[in-house]
Amino acid sequence: MNEKLQRVFRPLIIILAIYLVLLIGPVASLDIPAIAAAAAKNPLQLVQFLIIGIANGAIMAIIALGYTLVYGIIELINFAHGDVVMVGTFTSLTILSLTGTLDTKDPVHIILGLILALVIAIVVCAILNAAVERLAYRRLRNAPRLAPLISAIGMSFIIENFGLMWAGQTWLVPSFGTTGGASQKNFPDLLVAMYTNLGLNANILAFTGIHLRLTITGLVVIILAAILMLGLRFFIQNTTLGKAMRATAQNRDAAKMLGINIDNVISATFLIGGGLAGAAGIMTGLYNNTAWWFMGFRAGLFAFTAAVLGGIGNITGAMLGGFIIGIVASFSDGVLDARWTEAWVFAILVLILMLRPSGLLGEQVGDKA
Amino acid sequence: MSKRLFVLVSLVITASMLLAACGGAGGGGKTLKIVSDLPMTGASLTQTQTIVNAEQLRLSEANNKACGGKYTLAYEVDDDATAATGAWDGATETQNATKAAADKSVIAYLGTFNSGAAKLSIPITNQANDLLMFSPANTYPGLTHTAAGITAPNEPNVYYPTGQRNYARVAATDDLQGPVDVNFLLSLNIKSLYVLNDTQAYGLGIGTSVAQAAKAAGINVIANEGYDPKASNYQALMTKISTSNNGNPPDAIFLGAVVDSNTAQIMKDKVSIMGDNTKVKFMGPDGIYTQAFIDGSGATVAEGAYASTPGVAKKDLNAMGQKFYTDYAAKYGPTNEPYAVYGYDLMNGLLAAIENVCAAGGDPSDRPTVTKAVFALKDFQGALGTWSIDQNGDISLPYFLIGQAQSGKFVGIGTFSLKK
């Protein structure tokens, strides 16, 4: 579209968008006076919703990184990624059970158990993700776009059913109970329990004396997410492998001519993406305290949305998108009506994509990853 | 695919179809087929498996024969859930109902578990020569009768295109369950109530029923709010609820949902933000009256939560009901699921109806005859007590069992009913 036309159309689109919000708003309980009154009565609660949104967004951002990394390199939406996160949660829960961490009150045991579970979940998910690439995507790399997409959806179903079987293995994790693999499983909040046992207040904001709440688990999740995000950024920008990944993303053939082993670089990308999924898996488990075989689907959908919102293929964008969606969902749940949360999240996605079709920070297909 | 492979595969498929066809024709006399259609993939399995077991138990007591051996009873278990969604699925339900409707030997379609699924399959069975649909668990009132404020204006007639009723059920409906639950909450001295529902036919129906009854009883109902059953957590929602009663938490939260609707997550976030279930009481309907709810939440978190279900406390069951639970334990291991005895009595009623048809000289392989015979069940002596099916297809038993999570199990507190 030429410049002039665009200049005419953009305000039109904005007007249309505002009109849509005004039209749908009252239906979706966007009762502005009532909300303003509630907010004025309890302004601290808005801060609380922000805190919850940031913690949820941090987990979403880590999952979104996995989507965006893979998309950046081979332009494939890896639908199985959310389910790899689920495997991460079940791996860590199993390790915590096998090491007796679920039943202990010894803080050293709990911390060592958690670190071990984190490491093993990262390793297992990295290998799983790379195996998925080797099995289901590599042979389709030069096939029409739809083929790997469908095979990604297939892998997602396979992993989900694997999770369904896993969650039924009571001999492995006694706390799975006798109700079969399909029901939700309990993932105890070990850090909060540890803090409480030590006589400390698990709410690290309790000292402020005002009604704000962030549990130690929430804090650990946010810090861990920040470390992972910054680490990934550093890795992509400054290491040889990171540079090779960026080169592959820009132009696969040129990278090949320069002696970069494309297959290895792509495998490495899937390993890293899987590792992030493993970390997200244990973070989700610890923070939400439930595990079930279907959890990866929704987590993946929102994370993918976050990646698109920020500009798919763009790492900073994925993080930004994750936080935005986490915060929007939290405010919608808290201030509006929980029934409309999904609608609001996707309405905002549509709005932003109408104004910026390549996402908030741009799509970076070309110099992405 | 190479031509040879194609021929081989076609041969194998043809052979297996032939074998399957032969399998159905074996045995003595004419075969009457009974199809169970429940979600057998997903969290509801803990409930539905006990229903199927109980139905099979009753069939095996009759040696799979009816009318003095003149008819052989075949039993098939269909699954209306898919692994992809982990819950019942509209397309699968429609497909199962259509398959049963097309199979001439099917005389009864025992389902569904979810009221939403029944909305799809009742019209299909209705137009299949009034094929009897007999549900062990549906509790949404609109399937059989109107209930002010809960059912849609065109219900229930919209489900019966032929105008003939072919759907009956043994579970008491939500419009009765809501008031019973509210009476119970009043006995706990509840003054304010927050209702959550999973926005499905069942969850919204029971949530609305409770909200209406609570309002009528003078309880301050703060909201009847729908939640997204697939969200990763509900911390923001619970934070909002924690100050919704003029800056304080409500006295109680009622959760209208089936266990698959992320109920363990709701329970967890409720307890992590508003404390255990002694301060802010927590109650749900039959959809969460299952071990899966307690296991998923963790025994300490669920401790003290209440749930109600159509049913009769084990101690209040008659001799036949007591014997059922003993026999069940001997064959499948002990169970606490209150729906098990409903599966048993459902089959009980169906077999009695078939016997009645034979005794009257009728043909139990004729669908409308069987359907009429079930609607004609009056003062039937079953494991649940003495019951009848009315002209709408509803059971005459208004009993509900209320249980409380205690040390990792639902323990029945007692049998409750509306004082009439």
Residues from chain A that touch B49, judged by Cβ atoms under 8 A, are: 180
- CB-based contact, B166 to chain A, within 8 Å: no
Under an 8 A CB cutoff, do A330 and B236 touch? Answer: yes
Residues from chain B that touch A83, judged by Cβ atoms under 8 A, are: none
Q: Using one digit for the tens of pLDDT, what is the confidence trace for A141-169?
A: 888 888 998 999 999 999 999 998 898 88
Closest residue to B292, CB basis, from A53, A179, A284: A179
Determine the pLDDT at residue A25: 64
Q: Looking up tokens 């959890």, which residue turns up?
A: A295
Under an 8 A CB cutoff, do B42 and A331 touch? Answer: no
Q: Using one digit for the tens of pLDDT, what is the confidence trace for A223-235?
A: 999 999 999 989 9
Q: What is the CA radius of gyration of chain A?
A: 22
Closest-CA distance of chain B to residue A298, Å: 6
Determine the pLDDT at residue B8: 54
Under an 8 A CB cutoff, do B273 and A213 touch? Answer: yes
- With cut-offs at 50, 70 and 90, classify the pLDDT of residue A252: confident
Q: Looking up tokens 């850090």, which residue turns up?
A: A191
Closest-CA distance of chain B to residue A247, Å: 36
Determine the pLDDT at residue B127: 93
Residue of chain B nearest A184, judged by CA positions = B296
Residues from chain B that touch A179, judged by Cβ atoms under 8 A, are: 43, 45-46, 290-292, 295
Q: Could you give the ipTM of this predicted complex?
A: 0.82
Determine the pLDDT at residue B22: 45
Determine the pLDDT at residue B24: 41
Q: Using one digit for the tens of pLDDT, what is the confidence trace for B212-255?
A: 999 999 999 999 999 988 888 899 999 989 888 888 899 999 99
Under an 8 A CB cutoff, do B233 and A177 touch? Answer: no
With the C-alpha atoms ordered A216, A218, A223, A224, is the resulting torsion angle positive or negative?
positive
Q: Using one digit for the tens of pLDDT, what is the confidence trace for A180-202?
A: 777 888 898 888 888 888 888 87
Interface mutation target, options B295, B297, B337, chain A, most CBs of A under 10 Å: B295
Q: Using one digit for the tens of pLDDT, what is the confidence trace for A46-56?
A: 888 899 999 99
**Full set of structural domains in chain B with CATH:** 29-172+318-389 (3.40.50.2300), 174-310+401-416 (3.40.50.2300)
CB A153 within 8 A of CB A77: no
Under an 8 A CB cutoff, do B43 and A184 touch? Answer: yes
Closest-CA distance of chain B to residue A182, Å: 5
Closest CA to A184 of A170, A167, A172, A207: A167
Under an 8 A CB cutoff, do A184 and B296 touch? Answer: yes
CB A255 within 8 A of CB A121: no
Rounded Cα distance, B371 and B69, in Å? 21
Determine the pLDDT at residue B376: 93
- CB-based contact, B100 to chain A, within 8 Å: no
Determine the pLDDT at residue B260: 85
Closest CA to B309 of B168, B162, B415, B233: B415
Interface mutation target, options B38, B239, B289, B300, chain A, most CBs of A under 10 Å: B239
Determine the pLDDT at residue B416: 87
Interface mutation target, options B194, B195, B228, chain A, most CBs of A under 10 Å: B228
Under an 8 A CB cutoff, do B265 and A290 touch? Answer: yes
Rounded Cα distance, A242 and A252, in Å? 14
Note which residues in 338-397 of chain B have CB less than 8 A from chain A.
Answer: none
- In chain B, which residues have pLDDT < 50? 1, 18-27, 420
Question: How would you classify residue A270: left for phi > 0, otherwise alpha for psi between -120 and 50, otherwise beta?
Answer: alpha
- With cut-offs at 50, 70 and 90, classify the pLDDT of residue A8: confident
Determine the pLDDT at residue B388: 93
